[in-house]
Structure 1
């Protein structure tokens, strides 16, 4: 008897989409990835890959390749704008506690790694505008803007925070909400003065800087303000916000050209989806659980989604309709918790009242004195993730 190869259409060639394609391809599926913009351009400047994300990459066989990109050594501190240390943690402490370092890499490096895992020709140009979730008697299908219809045993919606497929599948679900702050990111050369690795928290403003491989630095900044504002000179705006902060923050901002600065308002979903599937369609990554960047877990949760989805489907003998309810039951509570934890952390950085900020900093200093791992201890349950197994 001939067993036909199962087929999957994945919408979106982001981190989650490409990781899902790699995991399903590894399991013998025939996979197509539809992406609006080809060739794939890595959106964003840098990405943090934590121990849970690295375990996901291990299942794809590229964890050690990504570990080789780690460049953080020594302390990573939380500071005030004048440079005083509030709390410190070290790369060694992170490894002792979680088994792996926090790897900061360019998004381009991670995307290149994931692209190497899928066969040539997997990516197809296509802007998905509609989806039919299918049922027990018929395949799911995706319709693109040019009218082409792609049918498959499984459709994966990994089409980002403003996912058209999510809106089609869950039309009554509220759209992501503005978190009240905007962000800027860039990759620049290592500054001439010593790099203060970690984050600096002010009143409603944050600046972070992390070393990358090859003598580069990934920096990011955040500030409270209404949604939708765009300054004609982002670097000048950033210097007005952070130019008086401790070294080397002004130099890092000044070394980025305006075209190299990515500016995005932050949105998140305060209302989880009722399920991460409908029919033969699974929803993953930012399409499923938009979150603020404060825990650096957006890409990591997408990687978890990808490998868990493939593993649950394999456990059910590739029977998609049996597997997807289990995928929802497995992933929805976890991603909901991570979304809410990240938002709580973000809310703390948005405080603007001088008394509130003074109390926040005093409590963080006290906690750091009582326990050296205070800064990373709240990550325990997030980093404890292991890929799905039948057991």
Structure 2
């Protein structure tokens, strides 16, 4: 039976994709996002796969496919900073912020509720119940978990089974306004997709749009990502924030303890080429994400469905996180419009999710 009232838990890009498609299809849909201050400004660049282009065409946003920063070539550096390989493969990084803001604007304000964290989901024969941190409860015909790697909806679908597994490494990241990038880094790294590989580690970087989506010279940002191995006890220390709380997956800008940042910068001085060292040093508030694998044994249970990273967590090497969410959103919409049979959705998307997770594992073999 087709659902009438749908609640989506999680208001990042995946949740917005699903909400936009379902709202346009005539469903009564509301998104609940735990963040109080919104998600804009948190994204960098993304490589658009075919599912993302299909989503842009679906809503008449083809022009967004051209709002990005072009890296004219790929270069590979050695530790001394010499370019040891060049590939003439131009690539455009779309703006995550522009994508998020554009889809957020498609959804009426009353359909997107922020600052109201969900703590659990239950269901019975008549409805699904969404439980909020303030003690309130809302009911729906269908609940969609689009709440990412730390999903609270996941348990209602898969039960007490194991969650995401740490793979042995993490990424340090920085987003530096291009005017603050030292000349030694700007000269070698700007307008290129740059890489440097080391035993058990590698760093990459590229220019992305500014937080307002601008691609004009002087208003862009340099995005660097440094993959590093950490033993579990080392990770415990790195992910303990400035308040002494051990966070499960990541630390946002400004939340990493100063001594941990200092140790990372000292390692950058010792290990990285001069241009990358300068780019790392230029970021005043580096942040960190531990890397995990997860493949849900099932994506649906009764009146509850999972999508995006709530269902399958793939390593960032795949560059397919947003594409995976777009594919899930399309399949959910199609199943619900057809007859409301969620089995149709799971049959289509579970094999795709497992394949993407496995692909990320292969790409990360030299790091984990």
TM-score interval (norm. to shorter): 0.7 to 0.9
Q: For residues 309-388 of structure 1, what are the structure 2 equivalents within 5 Å?
A: 309-314=332-337, 316=338, 319-320=339-340, 322=341, 324-350=342-368
Per the TM alignment, residue 59 of structure 1 is displaced from its structure 2 partner at its CA by 4.3
Determine which structure has the larger strand proportion and give its number: 2
Change (3 A) 1:248 1:170: same
Decide whether the 8 Å contact of 1:185 with 1:218 is kept in 2. Answer: yes
Q: What's the secondary structure of 1:160's corresponding residue?
A: coil
TM-superposed CA distance for 1:34, in Å, is 1.1
1:248 partner SS: helix
Structure 2 counterparts to residues 160-309 of structure 1, below 5 A: 160-190=148-178, 191=181, 192=183, 193-195=187-189, 196-212=192-208, 213=215, 214-226=219-231, 227-230=235-238, 232-233=258-259, 235-243=261-269, 244-258=271-285, 261-269=286-294, 272-309=295-332
For each residue in 1:62-95, what CA deviation from the matched residue of structure 2 results, as whole angstroms up to 9, or x when unmatched?
542432322123212344433443462512xxxx
SS of residue paired to 1:146: coil
Task: Say whether the 8 Å CA contact 2:169–2:229 is kept in structure 1.
Answer: yes
Residues 35/46 of structure 1: CA separation in 2 closer, same or farther (3 Å cut): same
1:5 Cα deviation from its structure 2 partner: 8.7
Distance 2:88 2:344 in 1: 37
**Alignment partner, residue 35 of structure 1:** 33
> For 2:332, what is the secondary structure of its paired residue?
helix
RMSD: 2.3
How much has 1:236 moved relative to structure 2? 2.9
Give the TM-score normalised by structure 2. Answer: 0.81
Instruction: Give the CA deviation at 1:45.
Output: 4.1
How far apart are 1:224 and its partner, in Å? Answer: 0.4
Q: Counterpart in 2 of 1:364?
A: none
Q: 1:7, 1:346 → 2: CA distance?
A: 41
Report the CA distance between 1:128 and its aligned residue.
1.7
Decide whether the 8 Å contact of 1:179 with 1:267 is kept in 2. yes
Is contact 2:75–2:83 with CA below 8 Å preserved after alignment? no
Q: 325-334 or 66-75, which moves further after superposition?
A: 66-75
Cα separation, 2, equivalents of 1:281 and 1:186: 36
Unaligned segments of structure 1, at least 5 residues: 92-100, 351-391
Cα deviation digits, residues 170-204 of structure 1 (max 9, x gap): 12321111110111112113332231523221111
Could you tell me the TM-score, scaled by structure 1's length?
0.77
Task: Give the distance between the partners of 2:41 and 2:313, measured in 1 at CA.
Answer: 16
Give the one of 103, 107, 110 matched to 1:114: 103
Q: What pairs with 1:64-213 in structure 2 (closer than 5 Å)? A: 64-82=62-80, 83-86=82-85, 88-91=87-90, 101-105=91-95, 107-124=96-113, 125-135=115-125, 138-190=126-178, 191=181, 192=183, 193-195=187-189, 196-212=192-208, 213=215
CA distance in 2, matches of 1:102, 1:308: 27
Shift of 1:42: 4.1
Measure how far apart 1:248 and its partner are: 1.9
Q: Work out the number of aligned pairs and report it.
A: 326
Give the Cα separation in 1 of the matches to 2:359 and 2:42.
23
